[in-house]
Structure 1
Amino acid sequence: MAEIIIKQVAKSFGTFQALHSIDMTIRDREFMVLLGASGCGKTTLLRIIAGLETPSQGEVWIGGRRVDHLPPRERGIAMVFQNYAVFPHLTVFENIAFGLRMKKLPQQEIDKRVNRTAELMHIEQLLKRYSGQLSGGQRQRVAVARALAMEPDVILMDEPLSNLDALLRLEMRAELKGVLAESKSTAIYVTHDQVEAMSLADRISVMNGGKIVQNASPVEIYRDPAARFVGSFIGNPPMNFIKANRQDIGRWRVAGLDLYGPSHGASSLEFAIRPEDLTIGEGGFIATARVVEPLGAHTLVTCEVDGKPFRAVLDSDLKVAPGDVLTLIPKPDRIRWFDPETLLAV
């Protein structure tokens, strides 16, 4: 069992508070992604779990053991770094075997684990090469294989695909998800790339300003953001937001439309809708197209609604040109509402 429990973990660097009382439980064999912009605290939290940083307060538990006082080698973890960290003077075989030799495992066991993980990562034909002879994608596979060969309870990954080109990232994402499912390790993966997060995670913890804003499945994060930040950060393009003024209990005026919404006592809320949850028809928002971007199967249209930018993802068969006036209808079950003061969903 490799359940990870984070209890009230905080971290300060001088006067800068990098993490604020983080509480989190990562289930055994779960794939958890820490997602957020640069500086949000996700890598600091990962390094605290790894033992590379000491928390200013709080506890870290792995597999029922408190480990925040233990050195990294005693925590049952392996780590994959953004810069690969493979040894240029060693062959691929020796790179993968490095940690196993440090554990003084028998040569037969080392051979078995190296060959198995190399096969999993499709690099078995590279075992005799030196890392200087490998491409970036191949070096990243070696780094992952080296971590997996340790058969760790927990594998930690800090933006491991960020240095790869788009096509390689797509290929590695698919392989990584399958390989980690087979490995039976609990995985924590740090990224700022929402596509990686959505495609890989069992659950996503969205971080902002050293806090966890929402912790949920990818579908829930996408469909039901708990805070305005999540709606604006997740999705490409992100959610549209328009001020809504209360007309009556449960009725709101949004850019000239009367819509049913929450029975909230505030005089105003923020209406939110994803660009792909809009259709063209009658009785919707009056929008003037400003920029039209063909994207293959879809067309992204940046419009002006109520004097502000408003994006719609439309079928590419619809012919739209800058200056066209559109009527955009929001799908009622996809509308979300946020409190402008707390910035939380209502």
Structure 2
Amino acid sequence: MAVIEIKNVAKTFGSYQALHDINLTIADQEFMVLLGASGCGKSTLLRIICGLETASEGEVWIGGRRVDHLPPKDRGISMVFQNYAVFPHLTVFENIGFGLRMQKMPDDDVKRRVERTAGLMHIDQLLSRYSGELSGGQRQRVAVARALAMEPDVILMDEPLSNLDALLRMEMRAELKGVLAESNTTAIYVTHDQVEAMSMADRISVMHEGKIVQAASPIEVYRNPAAEFVAGFIGNPPMNFLDATPQGGGKYTVAGHSFDGPSAANSNLQFAIRPEDMKLSDDGLQAVAKVVEPLGAHLLVTCELDGKLFRAILDSEMQVKPGDVLKLAPMPDRIRWFDPATTLAVA
């Protein structure tokens, strides 16, 4: 069992606090993604888990054992870095087996593990090559295979696909998810790419300014963001926001239209809706199209609505052009409400 428990972890660098009281439990064999913009603390948290950084406060437990006082080699983990760190003077076979050799494992066991992990990563035909003869994608596969060959309880990955082109990233995402599921390993994956997070994770921990804002399944994070930051960070394009004024009785005025809102609230709120959850209607919010972007199966229309930019995703067969007046109706069950004072979702 490789359950990971992060308890009250904080990290300061001088007067700067990089992490604030992080609490997170990652289940055995779960694929957890730490998602956030640069500087949010996700890589710092990963380095604390693996032992390359020391927490200022708090504890790290792996498999029921406290490990924050142990060196990285004694934590039962492997790590894949953004930089592949493939040794140029060694063959693919020797690179994958490097950690096993350091543990003085018998040759037969090294050969078995190397061949197994190379097969999982589809590089078994490259075992005799040197890194200079490999593409970037092949080198990344070698780095992942080297980590998996150690048969770790936990594998940590710090933006391992960011150096690859878009098509190769898409291919590697699918392979990584399948390989890690087959290896029965608990995985923590750091990225700023929401597509990687949504497509690979069992759960996503969205980080902002050194805090975990929401930890939930990809669909929960997307459909029910817990805070304005999550709603604005997840999704491309992100959620639209409009001011909502209370009428009383759970009714709110948004851009001149009345909507049912949280009955417990009696102050101004933020009305939020995703662009794909808008439909053309005879009695919708009035918007003026500013930019129309044909994107194959749909149109991305950027409008002006209630003095703000507002985006809607419409069917590509719609005849919309800049300057058109549109009436957009939100799907009622997809509306989210946020308290502007706390930026948190209101039920």
How would you bin the TM-score normalised by the shorter chain?
over 0.9
Cα distance in structure 2, aligned partners of 1:212 and 1:242: 25
SS of residue matched to 1:341: coil
Deviation at 1:265, TM superposition (A): 3.5
SS of residue matched to 2:97: helix
Q: Is the 8 A contact 2:91 2:129 kept in 1?
A: yes
Residue 162 of structure 2 is matched in structure 1 by 162
Q: Is the 8 A contact 2:240 2:310 kept in 1?
A: yes
Q: Is the 8 A contact 1:96 1:145 kept in 2?
A: yes
SS of residue matched to 1:345: coil
Query: Are 1:104 and 2:104 matched, yes or no?
Result: yes
Cα distance in structure 2, aligned partners of 1:227 and 1:196: 21
SS of residue matched to 1:6: strand
Q: Is the 8 A contact 1:113 1:149 kept in 2?
A: yes
Residue 122 of structure 2 is matched in structure 1 by 122
SS of residue matched to 1:2: coil
Q: Is the 8 A contact 2:248 2:266 kept in 1?
A: no
Q: Is the 8 A contact 1:292 1:302 kept in 2?
A: yes
Matches within 5 A, 1:109-258: 109-258=109-258
The CA deviation string for residues 42-94 of structure 1, in whole angstroms up to 9 with x for no partner, is: 00000000000000000000001000000000000000000111111111000
Deviation at 1:132, TM superposition (A): 1.0
Matches within 5 A, 1:1-346: 1-346=1-346
Deviation at 1:181, TM superposition (A): 0.1
Deviation at 1:264, TM superposition (A): 3.3
Q: Is the 8 A contact 1:249 1:264 kept in 2?
A: no
Letter in 1 for 2:305: V
Residue ranges of structure 2 left out of the alignment (5+ in a row): none
Cα distance in structure 2, aligned partners of 1:296 and 1:148: 39
Residue ranges of structure 1 left out of the alignment (5+ in a row): none
SS of residue matched to 2:188: strand
Cα distance in structure 2, aligned partners of 1:185 and 1:74: 17
Cα distance in structure 2, aligned partners of 1:67 and 1:247: 55
- Identical counterparts, % of pairs: 75
SS of residue matched to 1:253: strand
Cα distance in structure 2, aligned partners of 1:43 and 1:249: 46
How many residue pairs align between the two structures? Answer: 346
Cα distance in structure 2, aligned partners of 1:30 and 1:56: 27
Letter in 2 for 1:160: P
Letter in 2 for 1:195: V
Q: Is the 8 A contact 1:204 1:218 kept in 2?
A: yes
Cα distance in structure 2, aligned partners of 1:262 and 1:141: 49
SS of residue matched to 1:245: strand
Letter in 1 for 2:142: V
Cα distance in structure 2, aligned partners of 1:58 and 1:249: 46
Letter in 1 for 2:91: T
Deviation at 1:281, TM superposition (A): 1.1
Deviation at 1:95, TM superposition (A): 0.3
Cα distance in structure 1, aligned partners of 2:33 and 2:239: 21
Deviation at 1:12, TM superposition (A): 0.3
**TM-score w.r.t. length of structure 2:** 0.99
Letter in 2 for 1:198: M
The CA deviation string for residues 286-338 of structure 1, in whole angstroms up to 9 with x for no partner, is: 01000011111111000000011000011111111000110101000000000
SS of residue matched to 2:258: strand
Q: Is the 8 A contact 2:99 2:146 kept in 1?
A: yes
Q: Is the 8 A contact 2:117 2:148 kept in 1?
A: yes
Letter in 2 for 1:82: Q
**TM-score w.r.t. length of structure 1:** 0.99
